[in-house]
């Protein structure tokens, strides 16, 4: 990967996961929130990355100062802006001074912030503090991760103000909820030895970090589950095989409302959570739970004035209609913002009774709020290994089957013929291959054409149907029905 690309990637990996939100935060709060990386050792490459991060941050700062609407900054701005590398080194040193020995920064694994040090106004008094996560370098890897708040004295020196032991070995995720008058510091802790993670919501007041909420979770999220315009804290948790959802809602950081609902699904594992549009203007969380027989079911939840709404727990038949193998997770396969649930059945010519390597039609279910039922939005071939969905045009439905070639990662669509002796003697219509970019030329020489690609895979197609074949697809039909789906 080119150095510049890796630097940009590094920059976003080390920043809150939503650069747009970060940028608007820059604009609205005069650069109150910044994520900083710390390393004990600086080698040349990292020093260079940090220099560029510092420059990018300075550019953001310059944009902020110029009102976000003009690209007017000078080298003078860049040179006079405080150096992030210096600031992180100062925070790191202040931690070492406070602890009395070397410390190792602990990086949150998910959530809005991926930095070991977060500089922001934690107590809403207009002055920045630093929130730091670390372990003691000399201790074993299963030690408790520590959380510190650092403050800055009049001379601009960082010093450790308050320190506590976290509820796990590592930081799973960090979210900050700013209510102008107060800030909720939401930290998820994980431990290698336990499946359940722990969430603590802290307040920093009077120089003390105190927990105002503690709980366990499988998934910790900040989502606008009721469409009010502000995010709630959403906790999906599992006790035995019983799954439940907790929602903690506040608009001002003073009055909190907590809602809880136990779901119908029997969950050995929460395989995934997707948030997106359900129906109309209702957004919902799609919780994919896998039961003891490795069957995945989806529970759909959102919040209204009455509490947590869950049609799939109100009507278990609805939930059971989402049953499928556990590697088929809910997704927005076509990128329109509406989440769909994939369910499967064997393609024509495949029988679960007589065959081992089945090929499936994947039907994408979306929710109809008026009918209060799932409807089949599309039929498709979904390649889990190839990372793509090919939606079957309506004139193909019930007339087409597939055969696959795992060696070439290729699927060939066939005109189904019930009189044929086998798949190999049916008329071929179209092949789609998901290939390594370095093999592109080889496929091109064999009559394939690239129709979609990313850094890791190229999707090549070859139309094989005769010109007179009614099931022949146009190039437009092929490309408009092909979707890349990230794993």
Task: Tell me which of 178, 226, 379, 410 binds Ca ion, using CB under 5 A.
Answer: 226
Task: Tell me which of 163, 196, 332, 427 binds Ca ion, using CB under 5 A.
Answer: 332
Is residue 336 a contact residue for Ca ion (CB under 5 A)? Answer: yes
Residue 95: CB minimum distance to Ca ion, A: 18
Residue 334: CB minimum distance to Ca ion, A: 5
Q: Interface residues for Ca ion in 205-224 (CB under 5 A)?
A: 224
CA–CA gap between residue 141 and residue 365 (Å, rounded): 44
Nearer to Ca ion, 365 or 430 (CB): 365
Task: Tell me which of 46, 93, 121, 291 binds Ca ion, using CB under 5 A.
Answer: 121
Closest residue to Ca ion, based on beta-carbon distance: 228
Residue 170: CB minimum distance to Ca ion, A: 26
Phi and psi, residue 58, nearest 5°: -60, -40
Query: Number of helices and strands (H, E) in the chain?
Result: 9, 30
Nearer to Ca ion, 148 or 431 (CB): 148
Residue 234: CB minimum distance to Ca ion, A: 10
Kindly indicate which of the ranges 42-50, 109-117, 208-216, 338-346 contains the residues binding Ca ion, using the contact rule CB under 5 A. 338-346
Is residue 338 a contact residue for Ca ion (CB under 5 A)? Answer: yes
Nearer to Ca ion, 283 or 463 (CB): 283
CA–CA gap between residue 217 and residue 448 (Å, rounded): 48
Nearer to Ca ion, 125 or 260 (CB): 125
Nearer to Ca ion, 334 or 477 (CB): 334
- Residue 180, sorted as left (phi over 0), alpha (psi -120 to 50) or beta, turns out to be left
Is residue 453 a contact residue for Ca ion (CB under 5 A)? Answer: no
Task: Tell me which of 86, 125, 304, 444 binds Ca ion, using CB under 5 A.
Answer: 125
CA–CA gap between residue 391 and residue 29 (Å, rounded): 45
Task: Tell me which of 334, 368, 417, 477 binds Ca ion, using CB under 5 A.
Answer: 334
Is residue 62 a contact residue for Ca ion (CB under 5 A)? Answer: no
Q: DSSP string of 366-414?
A: EEETTTTEEEEEEEEEEETTTTEEEEPPGGGTTTEEEEEETTTTEEEEE
Asked whether 38 and 57 are in contact (CB, 8 A), the reply is no
Buried b (16+ CB within 10 A) or exposed e, 38-60: beeeeeeeeeebbeebbebbbeb
Residue 86: CB minimum distance to Ca ion, A: 20
Residue 231: CB minimum distance to Ca ion, A: 6
Residue 208: CB minimum distance to Ca ion, A: 13
Nearer to Ca ion, 127 or 469 (CB): 127
Task: Tell whether the torsion through CA atoms of 111, 112, 118 and 122 is positive or negative.
Answer: negative
Nearer to Ca ion, 35 or 190 (CB): 35
Q: What is the chain's alpha carbon radius of gyration, rounded to the nearest angstrom?
A: 26
Nearer to Ca ion, 240 or 337 (CB): 337
Is residue 420 a contact residue for Ca ion (CB under 5 A)? Answer: no
Asked whether 435 and 446 are in contact (CB, 8 A), the reply is no
List the beta bridge partners of residue 21.
none
Between strands 208-217 and 341-346, the pairing is: unpaired
Asked whether 391 and 483 are in contact (CB, 8 A), the reply is yes
Is residue 178 a contact residue for Ca ion (CB under 5 A)? Answer: no
List of E strands, 206-294: 208-217, 219-223, 232-239, 242-249, 257-266, 269-279, 282-290
Nearer to Ca ion, 233 or 401 (CB): 233
C-alpha dist (Å) from residue 126 to 28, 183, 219: 13, 12, 32
Task: Tell whether the torsion through CA atoms of 423, 429, 435 and 440 is positive or negative.
Answer: positive
Asked whether 336 and 329 are in contact (CB, 8 A), the reply is no
Task: Tell me which of 112, 123, 172, 288 binds Ca ion, using CB under 5 A.
Answer: 123
Nearer to Ca ion, 127 or 444 (CB): 127
Number of residues in contact with Ca ion under rule CB under 5 A: 12
Residue 121: CB minimum distance to Ca ion, A: 4
Collapsing DSSP to helix, strand or coil, 56 comes out as: helix
Residue 331: CB minimum distance to Ca ion, A: 8
Is residue 127 a contact residue for Ca ion (CB under 5 A)? Answer: yes
Question: What does the binding site for Ca ion look like in residue numbers (CB under 5 A)?
Answer: 121, 123, 125, 127, 224, 226, 228, 230, 332, 334, 336, 338
């Amino acid at each position: 990967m080119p150095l510049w690309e890796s630097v940009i990637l590094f920059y976003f990996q080390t920043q809150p996961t939503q650069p747009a939100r970060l940028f608007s935060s820059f604009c609205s709060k005069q650069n109150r929130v910044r994520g900083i990386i710390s390393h004990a050792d600086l080698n040349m490459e990292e020093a260079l990355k940090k220099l560029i991060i510092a420059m990018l941050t300075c550019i953001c700062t310059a944009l902020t100062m110029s009102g976000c609407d003009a690209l007017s900054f000078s080298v003078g701005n860049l040179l006079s802006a405080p150096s992030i590398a210096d600031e992180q080194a100062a925070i790191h040193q202040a931690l070492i001074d406070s602890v009395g020995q070397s410390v190792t920064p602990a990086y949150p694994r998910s959530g809005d912030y991926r930095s070991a040090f977060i500089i922001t106004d934690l107590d809403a008094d207009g002055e920045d503090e630093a929130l730091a996560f670390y372990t003691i370098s000399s201790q074993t890897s299963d030690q408790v991760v520590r959380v510190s708040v650092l403050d800055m004295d009049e001379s601009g020196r960082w010093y450790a103000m308050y320190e506590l032991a976290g509820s796990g070995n590592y930081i799973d995720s960090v979210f900050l909820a700013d209510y102008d008058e107060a800030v909720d510091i939401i930290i998820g802790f994980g431990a290698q030895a336990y499946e359940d993670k722990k969430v603590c919501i802290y307040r920093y007041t009077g120089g003390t970090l105190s927990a105002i909420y503690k709980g366990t979770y499988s998934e910790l999220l900040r989502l606008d589950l009721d469409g009010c315009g502000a995010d709630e804290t959403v906790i999906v948790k599992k006790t035995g095989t019983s799954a439940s959802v907790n929602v903690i809602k506040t608009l001002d950081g003073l009055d909190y409302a907590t809602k809880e609902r136990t779901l119908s699904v029997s969950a050995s594992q929460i395989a995934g959570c997707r948030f997106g549009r359900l129906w109309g203007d209702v957004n919902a969380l799609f919780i994919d739970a896998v039961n003891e027989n490795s069957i995945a079911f989806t529970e759909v939840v959102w919040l209204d004035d009455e509490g947590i709404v869950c049609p799939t727990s109100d009507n278990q038949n609805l939930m059971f209609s989402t049953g499928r193998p556990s590697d088929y997770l809910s997704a927005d396969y076509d990128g329109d913002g509406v989440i769909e649930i994939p369910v499967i059945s064997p393609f024509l010519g495949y029988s679960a009774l007589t065959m081992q390597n089945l090929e499936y039609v994947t039907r994408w279910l979306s929710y109809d709020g008026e009918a209060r039922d799932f409807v089949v939005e599309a039929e498709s071939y979904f390649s889990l290994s190839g990372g793509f969905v090919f939606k079957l045009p309506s004139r193909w439905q019930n007339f087409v089957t597939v055969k696959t070639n795992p060696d070439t990662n290729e699927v060939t669509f066939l005109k189904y013929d019930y009189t044929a002796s086998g798949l190999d003697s049916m008329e071929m219509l179209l092949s789609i291959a998901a290939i390594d970019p370095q093999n592109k030329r080889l496929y091109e020489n064999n009559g394939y054409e690239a129709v979609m690609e990313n850094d890791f895979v190229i999707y090549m197609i070859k139309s094989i149907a005769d010109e007179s074949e009614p099931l022949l697809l146009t190039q437009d039909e092929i490309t408009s029905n092909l979707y890349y789906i990230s794993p």
